[in-house]
Amino acid sequence: MQLSPFTEEHDLLRKAVGEWVDTEIAPHLAEWEEKGDFPDDVFHRAGELGFLGLSFPESAGGQGGDYWAQVVFLEELGRVSQAISMVLSVQTDMATPPILEFGTQEQIDKWLKPAFRGELIGAIGITEPDTGSDVASIRTHAARDGDEWVLNGSKMYITNGARAHFITMVVRTGEPEEANPWAGISMFIVDTSLPGFTVSKKLEKAGMKMSDTALLYMEDVRLPADALLGVEGEGFRQIMWELQGERMGVSVFGVAGARAIVEEATKYARAREAFGRPIGEFQAVSHRLAEMATEVEAVQSLIYECCDLWNRGIYATEEIAMAKLAVGQLSNKVADEALQVFGGAGLVEGTSISRAWLGARIGRIGGGSDEVQRQILARIMGIG
Amino acid sequence: MSELEPLFREEHDAYRQAARLFVSNEIAPHVEEWERQRDFPRDLFEKVGGAGFFGAKFPEHWGGTGPDYAAEAVWIEELSRAGSYGTASDLGAHSQLAALYLDRFGDDDQKNRYLRPSIEGRLLGALGVTEPDAGSDVSAIKTWARRDGAEWILNGSKVYITNGARADYVVIAAGTSDDSGHEGITLFIVDTATPGFDRNRMKMIAWETSHTGELFLNDVRVPDANRLGDIGAGFRQIMANFQWERLMMSLGAVALAELSLETAIDYARERSAFGRPIIKFQVWQHRFADLAVRIRTGKALTYRALRHHIAFEDGVDVGREELVRLTSMAKLYTQRMAWQVADECVQVHGGAGALKEYPAQRYWRDARVGSIGGGTDDIMRNLIARTMGLGAA
């Protein structure tokens, strides 16, 4: 009985990613969070080191690894920062996979390969000011004009939106049909250097402050014909496909973050003394940490089962919705319990625990809220 | 390409089909009647044994078909889905505890006399550790065995012994040394027909079909040939088997939770309120979705622990501490989960949730035992905390 999905090769990769994370990411996290920004160089270095296309085929400029290689990458990021995990996962699990899945060779050459090298930064554009979970209601639209498309509308809460070179975006190109509200949606690769594209606002958030989250405006942006990604009118199906990989990704780094918080709180409980002994010797504290560790292992087990399905090419919508929902709840609960263990130290700005507590809340909203996951599950269970 | 090795292979699917067929023919049709009577016939053991379902984890030499722990897990899942937890618990105490102890610690003569007929389901066993004053704290047991030539004389009492009120033999833990505690406990196979052995069947609010017993040993003479393993080895023997017992409980709890949820969803489809089936209300759809996630999460953790157990039994160096950690976590998570799921499922039934006519309340009562038996939730937390370097120094 083989117990681990990771091979020696994965272990070597983990070492390499881990070293990069520990030396070039972790030391700067407090500063980046305070500034509400981080350097683009993070993308460049990750690309240089070959980390941005780990599970993509070599023919498309990737490293040719399996999904577990991507899992290693996300876990190593997840253990230090959910914010950095999110921005890099937007690149590797959200903006780029649809280009490989639905794109032409030209689109792969133009956008995907430089993205893997870290030269181009990508974002995924779904949400709008008036439309979040309800993707079918998007209003941003593109109208054909000769060979070109004219794009108008806005996108909201777009991670990497202020710095992205391209945005993999869902746009309306036709009217919804009564029987099929998902009709008339298409996907585009939007070049952000085109005239009419503006970053209207970099949003200030309560958590994950270092990641840039933007409100974007598109006014008569003229997209070339080859900006269309995949099939016109198939955008809804394509973005639903994208969301599976996105939810897998956030689940993987999410649970890695939860595990790290428990470990940090455990270490703290062993060192911090009160009433003459380490607080970890108090049964109330030790049992609380034991519970947290148990919840982490339970959710981790589910997520590895999901990763395994995903790696085998199985489109496991049910398991992925479960994983996304479970990890969002877990991260919040664990971060809150850990904050309690830290006491006053947990409330100080700039500590990893306070960052984790603030950042975890986003996990239950982004990438499809808790409620959306429940709705998906209810439908699959035949009750919704 | 690296993958998670599947827990179940093709042959296990066939075994599951066979188990499911057996349960649906021999157990499921009688469950409501047995529950009403708070009893089930003894010959079920022989039927299970005759069909080979006590044999999966035992070697062929003693009448088994294994050892194959994945197959055993399949049986537990299918048996639990019959929805009579008390019945499953009696069968489990016989097979997962008493017979397994004989397989692990017995000599050939003992295996011939007790293990073989246990696998056949003709001779019924139980395990007697817990006492009125010693539950989770095994080293505190007071039952005492005094040597008298080629015999031992046992005195004391045991309580909450699953299948103990009907068993033909009970593996009894007794003190054999003045410095009782970890090195002072020895196991004995005690025939329940021996003079001085008395028992009561306990009346419980859950596991109503089970024959949970209170045992009294008054100068019970046991031949030394029935001493199970070395003198003083009892504590270690008991601790070693806890992992398997807790894994089996985890599998059972997950199956019970699944059954509970399915039953509740069926009810919610049929029951109307405010002009529509209550399943149409989003709060119930979402609550059911949450419950399904918790069940699936518990199952994933249990399967992970089971993989470790199988690897451990195969001689793979998984680290005993890691096995204990994952198993304790699975037990802690699943037992409470099953009860909480069952509680929500009672809720969806409304007033009918309190009626014996519906099984929802029974799943809820039966699931509650899991956080107490086989090591309480708090014991699990202590064990887990210890692996984290926490707890009392």
B199 touches chain A (CB under 8 A): no
A75 touches chain B (CB under 8 A): no
- Which chain A residues in 299-318 lie under 8 Å from chain B, judged by CB atoms? 299, 301-302, 304-305, 308, 311-312
Reported ipTM: the value is 0.92
Cβ neighbours of A381 in B, within 8 Å: 265, 288-289, 292
Alpha-carbon distance values, A324 to A124, A165, A254, A286 (Å): 18, 28, 9, 28
- Report pLDDT for B281: 95
Backbone angles phi, psi at B346, to 5 degrees: -65, -40
Nearest CA-CA partner of B342 in B375, B298, B308: B298
- Which chain A residues in 11-70 lie under 8 Å from chain B, judged by CB atoms? 66, 68
Q: Under an 8 A CB cutoff, do B288 and A66 touch?
A: no
Beta bridge partners of B171: B127, B189
CA distance B386 to A2: 26
pLDDT one-digit tens code per residue, A334-354: 999 999 999 999 999 889 999
pLDDT greater than 80 at residue B392: no
Q: Which residue of B has its CA nearest to A290?
A: B385
CB A323 within 8 A of CB A306: yes
For the annotated catalytic residues of B, the residue numbers are 245
CA distance A208 to A190: 25
Q: Helix or strand or coil: residue B240? A: helix
- Report pLDDT for A190: 98
A371 touches chain B (CB under 8 A): yes
CA distance A169 to A154: 11
> What dihedral angle (degrees, nearest 10) is formed by the CA atoms of B184, B188, B190, B196?
-30
Q: Helix or strand or coil: residue B267? A: helix
CB A187 within 8 A of CB A135: no
Q: Helix or strand or coil: residue A9? A: helix
- Interface test with chain B among A2, A3, A319, by most B beta carbons within 10 Å: A3
CA distance B315 to B313: 5
Nearest CA-CA partner of A270 in B56, B258, B389: B389
Q: Out of A75, A76, A128, A246, which one is annotated catalytic?
A: A246
Nearest CA-CA partner of B120 in B219, B48, B173, B25: B48
- Interface test with chain B among A286, A304, A327, by most B beta carbons within 10 Å: A286
pLDDT one-digit tens code per residue, A12-34: 999 999 999 999 999 999 999 99
Q: Is residue A246 annotated as a catalytic residue, yes or no? A: yes
**How close, in Å, is residue A325 to chain B by CA atoms?**
8
Q: Under an 8 A CB cutoff, do B384 and A294 touch?
A: yes
Residues B94-118, mean pLDDT to the nearest whole number? 97
Alpha-carbon distance values, A189 to A97, A162, A202, A284, B189 (Å): 12, 16, 21, 53, 75
A295 touches chain B (CB under 8 A): yes
Cβ neighbours of B4 in A, within 8 Å: 2, 5, 304-305, 308
* Residue A16: exposure state from Cβ atoms within 10 A (0-12, 13-18, ≥19): middle
Number of H helices and E strands in chain A, helices first, is 13, 10
pLDDT greater than 70 at residue A81: yes
Q: Under an 8 A CB cutoff, do B388 and A281 touch?
A: no
**How close, in Å, is residue A278 to chain B by CA atoms?**
9
Q: How many residue pairs bridge chain A and chain B with CB atoms within 8 Å of each other?
A: 145
B300 touches chain A (CB under 8 A): yes
- Report pLDDT for B294: 98
Alpha-carbon distance values, A313 to A64, A310, B358 (Å): 15, 5, 42
Q: How many C-beta atoms surround the C-beta of residue A382 within 10 A?
A: 9
**Of B2, B5, B297, Cβ closest to residue A302:** B297
In the block, residue with structure tokens 């990763």: A307
Q: Under an 8 A CB cutoff, do A10 and B333 touch?
A: no
B193 touches chain A (CB under 8 A): no
Confidence of residue B180 (pLDDT cuts 50, 70, 90): low
pLDDT one-digit tens code per residue, A159-185: 999 999 999 999 999 998 888 888 999
* Residue A130: exposure state from Cβ atoms within 10 A (0-12, 13-18, ≥19): exposed
Q: How many C-beta atoms surround the C-beta of residue A347 within 10 A?
A: 12
Q: Which residue of A has its CA nearest to B378?
A: A287
Q: Give the Cα-Cα-Cα angle B79, B84, B85 (nearest 5 degrees).
A: 80
Residues A296-311, mean pLDDT to the nearest whole number? 97
Query: Bigger pLDDT: A131 or A9?
Result: A9
Q: Which residue of A has its CA nearest to B318?
A: A3
Confidence of residue B1 (pLDDT cuts 50, 70, 90): low
Phi-psi region of A145 (alpha: psi -120 to 50; beta: other; left: phi over 0): beta
CB A36 within 8 A of CB A210: yes
Name the pairing type of β-strands A166-172 and B125-128: unpaired
Beta bridge partners of A197: A218
Quick one: tokens of A278?
């380490």
pLDDT one-digit tens code per residue, A210-260: 999 999 999 999 999 999 999 999 999 999 999 999 999 999 999 999 999
Residues A354-368, mean pLDDT to the nearest whole number? 92
- Which chain B residues in 256-285 lie under 8 Å from chain A, judged by CB atoms? 265, 268-269, 279, 282, 284-285
